[in-house]
Chain A
Amino acid sequence: MDEMQEIMEDFLVEAFEMIEQLDQDLVELESNPDDLELLNKIFRVAHTIKGSGSFLNLDILTRLTHHMEDILNKARKGELKITPDIMDVILESVDMMKALLENIRDNGTDVTDDIDIEPVVVKLDAISQGKELSEAAPSESKEQKEETVEVADEDELTEEDYANMSPDEIEAEIERLIQKRAEEDKARREAKKKQEASSKTNNEKQEEKQESKPVVKKETKPATNTKKAETKNVPAKKVSTVEQTIRVDVNRLDNLMNLIGELVLSKNRLIKIYNDVEERYEGEHFLDELNQVVSSISIVTTDLQIAVMKTRMLQIGKVFNKFPRVIRDLSRDLGKKVNLIIKGEETELDKSIIEEIGDPLMHMIRNSVDHGIEAPEERIEVGKPEVGTVELKAYNEGNQIVIEIADDGKGMDPDVLKSKALEKGIISEKEADMMSDKEAFMLIFKAGFSTAAKVTNVSGRGVGMDVVKTNVEKLNGIIEVDSTPGKGSVFKIKIPLTLAIIQALLVSAQEELFAVPLANVIETVRITIEDISTVEGKSVLKLRDEVLPLVNMSDIFNIEKILGITQYLYVVVLGVGASKVGLIVDGLIGQEEIVIKSLGEYLKGIKGIAGATIRGDGKVTLIVDVAALMQLAKETHSKTIVTANIETKKKKENPEDYVVLVVDDSNTDRKIMKNAIKPLGFTIKEATNGEEALNILKNDSNIDAALVDIEMPKMDGYTLAQEIRKYNRFKNLPLIAVTSRTTKSDRVRGVEVGMNEYITKPYTPDYLANVLKRNLKLS
């Protein structure tokens, strides 16, 4: 029984694949009814499904396909002309075939109360008889009989006789069956050959395959496997293009992808370690070798990643294929004439994206036909060709795939959209005034927006386009719309190639790092506080001709502000669709390839966070969900950016307002320093070594400068300076080395680790005070 199950599964997989192709072929056939090659292809599919179906005792399916095959056979022989009406019936029966196959997949049988094939069978019969009266009922039933007899014959043999046969007899039986099959095939092919000289090469290929197959089978398959060998043969000989492929469980590929993800992380880590080592052991011989190994590992990893990504890639044609049928049905329903042009169906996308993109695309295509393309009379009136065109196109653009849906319909008028949105209360009047045309087009993706005057069963039910947008954004994609009234509209969907590994911009908010998907980063700019203006209590930035709302990343994520105010601010301009936001960050770290990891069940669904990644240093960095972040940005009041700055700026004017940390292990030295600066009014804190000083700094954010000795126990001054500079908030903290080390290399080292000044002992109290005042910008 397992054997049967396996055969059944194979059959289903194949049948679904073939049917997918069938839809497209049939629609094509309608426009080229005389394409013999196409007809043959379609006939073969019907025939194969019939053959395998009868073997698997799927009587209803067999009966249906048999009648279909009948008509196709006649059309193939030129006895019947395929008209749109006939095509309707054929398509109907294909739909029924699909339903039956689905039922078989779910329930293991084609016997069901839900599907009644009789009406279709009658229609099919009527077509076949009505057109071809001479060989009507009698010959047909005869033909049918022949088929069933043949099948029954095989069944009998496989079911009954094997049990009684000796191994030798079984061998002989197998050989007989195979030969019989081969002869039948040969005869059939010969007949075909006469008809179609054009597909000759194809057939030869098949013949070769056919000849080599039985030999292998005969040697290796034990008697119980005969059935399988038989069925395997049936579909194999029908496949027109032989591809070198194997089916692999998707889970295995997912697993492989995860492993590659780990490898990419390790690679990043290796590169980081190499950079550290390079700094420390500059000029050493082994560095060269290490460099070679690191670069070769990093190249191989990247190649491996691409290779594995490719194994998960499917052609987008898989999705596109169903649209000719959709367009055909739609245009007949709506009484419109529409021609669908498909380009770039060989463009490849990750499997997970292919699975998700079908529904949004379907919706947009329906939208284009229903809302975009005008009725034929209307088109003629405005001087356009009667038949409208919808172009579906896919192509690569950098790291992204672009899917374009263009129609030459009536287009959209931004002003109409705006007034409509106003009417429905989706936007305010003020928003409408400020809206650019592109933003106006994006209104159609708002929930509750529909421009269709009358509700059809195709679109315009008020749901849909907003769901399209959500689905596309789930794939990290964006939608762009362009339209000219009277000329047509173009929708562009841009999606990343793969979901697992992306390019990201690393930014810091206070001490915390975040990764922003590069696909959503339009640009980064450095501004000063003066560049920020306030409109209606909200901070905005005028950038070239645009006004960007500004929001501080620390405000969005409620990160405590510990950093002092610097002169410059970094703004990351984020874009999702037509809307843009300027995100103020405290630092731009760089661009990196990151592997997206989930935060797990417990922490999932956090607003503004899409996941996490592990960086080269082993730390976890959160990945920003840009679409959600922009939503959060709207809710966050960013008024505080400017005011907070002014407050902190005002606070400190006199030496009394400053706190200075004195770090020295010698009590005497600390006293000398204190005596030198105390008279000016500074508040002084003391630490006896680097470690202590670091702890004080970490816990007390009020320290404004540090005087640091170099020679100290536990942690020396150089290390202390290095550690301090690792923190963003201490990037600009004045550090003054006060030491008796006087050589030039000491001074150089001091600068290297981040000291602002280097004072050698002995020094005059005035000199120390002046240096400190200068560094604190006190006059």
Chain B
Amino acid sequence: MSNQLQNVIKQQQEQTNGLGNNTDQKDDNIIQLVGFIVGNEEFAVPILSIQEIIKPIEWTKVPFTDDFVLGVFNLRGNVLPLIDLRRKFKASEAEFDDDARFIVIKVGDELAGFVIDRLTEALRIESNSILPPPDTSMERDAVIEGIARKDDRIITILKINSLLKINNG
């Protein structure tokens, strides 16, 4: 397991321990997310929607698909689609470096892998501090749940159930 992932887990544990004294009431308003970078932006998805995070492995191209669908890969005997979020969000098309990861997310009843540039950290964000997505007509807004601020960072929270909607890339 990479150092980063360990860091993420460690931080998460610290946070959990630190908050252990707080009342349950407060926990209800807190959403746990995993943050990651795609291109120049930071995104996040709910931690419970993530099945696992793996290092890039080989995948197989599938014909007649959108360009952000890299293909399919084998996750312990299951064939899962692999979607490059960098292409989907029209960000960089850089080669995979050592920080790149596949995040395996459960979308509805289906699992799918998403390529990201690097992980940042596990986040705990109060749900009432999340702002609705900006009112622009960009295509990718369809997959945005909301915008969160943490310190001076702006984090875009993704709408899991829309990630696999066809024709929105």
Partner of A600, one of B59, B71, B81: B81
- Known A-B contacts A614-B77, A614-B79; A603 and B72 likewise in contact (beta carbons under 8 Å): yes
Q: How far is the CA of A620 from the CA of B79 in the complex (A)?
A: 7
B144 within 8 A of A: no
Chain B residues near A265 (CB-CB < 8 A): 77
- Known A-B contacts A559-B63, A606-B62, A619-B58; A599 and B81 likewise in contact (beta carbons under 8 Å): yes
Q: 8 Å CB contacts to A: which residues of B55-89?
A: 58-65, 69, 71-74, 77-81
B164 within 8 A of A: yes
Chain A residues near B65 (CB-CB < 8 A): 603, 606
B64 touches A607 (CB 8 A): yes
22 A-B contact pairs sorted by A residue (CB < 8 Å): A512-B60, A513-B60, A559-B61, A597-B79, A599-B62, A599-B79, A600-B110, A601-B108, A601-B109, A602-B112, A602-B166, A603-B62, A603-B65, A603-B81, A606-B62, A606-B65, A607-B64, A609-B63, A609-B64, A620-B71, A621-B60, A622-B72
Interface centre among A512, A600, A618, A619 (most CB of B within 10 A): A600
Q: How far is the CA of A513 from the CA of B63 in the complex (A)?
A: 12
Chain A residues near B108 (CB-CB < 8 A): 601
Give 1 or 0 for each of B101-123: 1 = CB within 8 Å of chain A CB.
00000001110100000000000
A612 touches B72 (CB 8 A): yes
Q: 8 Å CB contacts to B: which residues of A222-272?
A: 262, 265
Q: How far is the CA of A512 from the CA of B71 in the complex (A)?
A: 12
Q: How far is the CA of A339 from the CA of B73 in the complex (A)?
A: 55
Q: Which residues of B are in contact with A by a Cβ distance under 8 Å?
A: 58-65, 69, 71-74, 77-81, 108-110, 112, 164, 166
Q: How far is the CA of A608 from the CA of B65 in the complex (A)?
A: 12
A557 within 8 A of B: yes
CB distance from B25 to the nearest CB of A (A): 39
Q: Is the interface of A mostly helix, strand, loop or mixed?
A: mixed
Q: How far is the CA of A519 from the CA of B63 in the complex (A)?
A: 23
CB distance from A583 to the nearest CB of B (A): 14
A603 touches B69 (CB 8 A): yes
Q: Please give me the residue from chain B that is nearest to A600 by CB atom.
A: B110
A134 within 8 A of B: no
A601 touches B79 (CB 8 A): no
Q: Which residues of A are in contact with B by a Cβ distance under 8 Å?
A: 262, 265, 512-513, 556-559, 597-603, 606-609, 612, 614, 618-622
Q: How far is the CA of A690 from the CA of B62 in the complex (A)?
A: 30
**Nearest 7 CB-CB pairs, A to B?**
A557-B63, A620-B60, A612-B79, A597-B79, A602-B164, A620-B74, A602-B81
Chain A residues near B166 (CB-CB < 8 A): 602
Q: Please give me the residue from chain B that is nearest to A558 by CB atom.
A: B63
Q: How far is the CA of A600 from the CA of B59 in the complex (A)?
A: 15
CB distance from B86 to the nearest CB of A (A): 18
Q: How far is the CA of A609 from the CA of B81 in the complex (A)?
A: 14
Q: Please give me the residue from chain A that is nearest to B111 by CB atom.
A: A600
B74 touches A606 (CB 8 A): no
CB distance from A264 to the nearest CB of B (A): 11
- Known A-B contacts A612-B72, A618-B74, A620-B74; A600 and B63 likewise in contact (beta carbons under 8 Å): no
CB distance from B127 to the nearest CB of A (A): 29
CB distance from B62 to the nearest CB of A (A): 6
Chain B residues near A612 (CB-CB < 8 A): 60, 72, 79
B79 touches A600 (CB 8 A): yes
A606 touches B72 (CB 8 A): no
Task: Other than A603-B65, A606-B64, give 11 A-B pairs with Cβ distance below 8 A.
Answer: A558-B63, A597-B79, A601-B109, A602-B164, A603-B62, A603-B81, A609-B62, A609-B64, A612-B60, A614-B77, A620-B59
Q: How far is the CA of A618 from the CA of B59 in the complex (A)?
A: 10
Chain A residues near B73 (CB-CB < 8 A): 620
- Known A-B contacts A599-B72, A601-B110, A620-B72; A606 and B63 likewise in contact (beta carbons under 8 Å): yes
Q: How far is the CA of A603 from the CA of B79 in the complex (A)?
A: 11
Q: Please give me the residue from chain A that is nearest to B61 by CB atom.
A: A512
Q: How far is the CA of A598 from the CA of B79 in the complex (A)?
A: 8
Chain B residues near A559 (CB-CB < 8 A): 61, 63
Chain B residues near A618 (CB-CB < 8 A): 74
CB distance from A131 to the nearest CB of B (A): 62
Q: How far is the CA of A598 from the CA of B110 in the complex (A)?
A: 12
Chain A residues near B63 (CB-CB < 8 A): 556-559, 606, 608-609
Q: Please give me the residue from chain A that is nearest to B80 by CB atom.
A: A600
CB distance from B154 to the nearest CB of A (A): 29
Q: How far is the CA of A608 from the CA of B62 in the complex (A)?
A: 11
B60 touches A619 (CB 8 A): yes
Interface centre among B72, B78, B109, B112 (most CB of A within 10 A): B72
Q: How far is the CA of A485 from the CA of B72 in the complex (A)?
A: 52
Q: How far is the CA of A262 from the CA of B71 in the complex (A)?
A: 21
Q: How far is the CA of A621 from the CA of B61 in the complex (A)?
A: 9
Chain A residues near B74 (CB-CB < 8 A): 614, 618-620
Q: How far is the CA of A513 from the CA of B79 in the complex (A)?
A: 16
Q: Please give me the residue from chain B that is nearest to A601 by CB atom.
A: B110
Q: How far is the CA of A546 from the CA of B164 in the complex (A)?
A: 46
Partner of B60, one of A262, A608, A622: A622
Q: How far is the CA of A394 from the CA of B166 in the complex (A)?
A: 44
Q: How far is the CA of A614 from the CA of B74 in the complex (A)?
A: 7
CB distance from A595 to the nearest CB of B (A): 9
Q: How far is the CA of A620 from the CA of B73 in the complex (A)?
A: 6
Chain B residues near A603 (CB-CB < 8 A): 62, 65, 69, 72, 81
CB distance from B70 to the nearest CB of A (A): 11
A262 touches B77 (CB 8 A): yes
Partner of B64, one of A558, A597, A600, A621: A558
Q: How far is the CA of A513 from the CA of B164 in the complex (A)?
A: 26
CB distance from B114 to the nearest CB of A (A): 12
CB distance from B66 to the nearest CB of A (A): 10
CB distance from A707 to the nearest CB of B (A): 27
Chain A residues near B71 (CB-CB < 8 A): 620
Q: How far is the CA of A548 from the CA of B68 in the complex (A)?
A: 37
CB distance from A507 to the nearest CB of B (A): 14
Q: How far is the CA of A609 from the CA of B65 in the complex (A)?
A: 12
CB distance from B22 to the nearest CB of A (A): 40
Q: How far is the CA of A620 from the CA of B63 in the complex (A)?
A: 14
CB distance from B79 to the nearest CB of A (A): 5
Chain B residues near A600 (CB-CB < 8 A): 79-81, 110, 112
Q: How far is the CA of A609 from the CA of B71 in the complex (A)?
A: 13
Q: How far is the CA of A557 from the CA of B62 in the complex (A)?
A: 9
Q: How far is the CA of A599 from the CA of B164 in the complex (A)?
A: 14
Chain A residues near B72 (CB-CB < 8 A): 599, 603, 612, 620, 622
CB distance from A512 to the nearest CB of B (A): 6
Q: How far is the CA of A355 from the CA of B36 in the complex (A)?
A: 48
Chain A residues near B164 (CB-CB < 8 A): 601-602
Partner of B110, one of A262, A557, A602, A620: A602
CB distance from A703 to the nearest CB of B (A): 20
Chain B residues near A609 (CB-CB < 8 A): 62-64
CB distance from A582 to the nearest CB of B (A): 20
Chain B residues near A608 (CB-CB < 8 A): 63-64
Q: How far is the CA of A614 from the CA of B69 in the complex (A)?
A: 19
Q: How far is the CA of A603 from the CA of B61 in the complex (A)?
A: 12
B62 touches A622 (CB 8 A): yes
Q: Please give me the residue from chain A that is nearest to B69 by CB atom.
A: A603
Chain B residues near A619 (CB-CB < 8 A): 58, 60, 74
Q: How far is the CA of A620 from the CA of B75 in the complex (A)?
A: 10
Q: How far is the CA of A614 from the CA of B166 in the complex (A)?
A: 25
Q: How far is the CA of A603 from the CA of B112 in the complex (A)?
A: 11
Interface centre among A513, A556, A618 (most CB of B within 10 A): A618
Q: How far is the CA of A612 from the CA of B71 in the complex (A)?
A: 11
CB distance from B113 to the nearest CB of A (A): 11
CB distance from B33 to the nearest CB of A (A): 23
CB distance from A362 to the nearest CB of B (A): 35
CB distance from B143 to the nearest CB of A (A): 14
Q: How far is the CA of A95 from the CA of B61 in the complex (A)?
A: 53
Chain B residues near A558 (CB-CB < 8 A): 63-64
CB distance from B125 to the nearest CB of A (A): 29
Q: How far is the CA of A608 from the CA of B64 in the complex (A)?
A: 9
Q: How far is the CA of A145 from the CA of B63 in the complex (A)?
A: 73
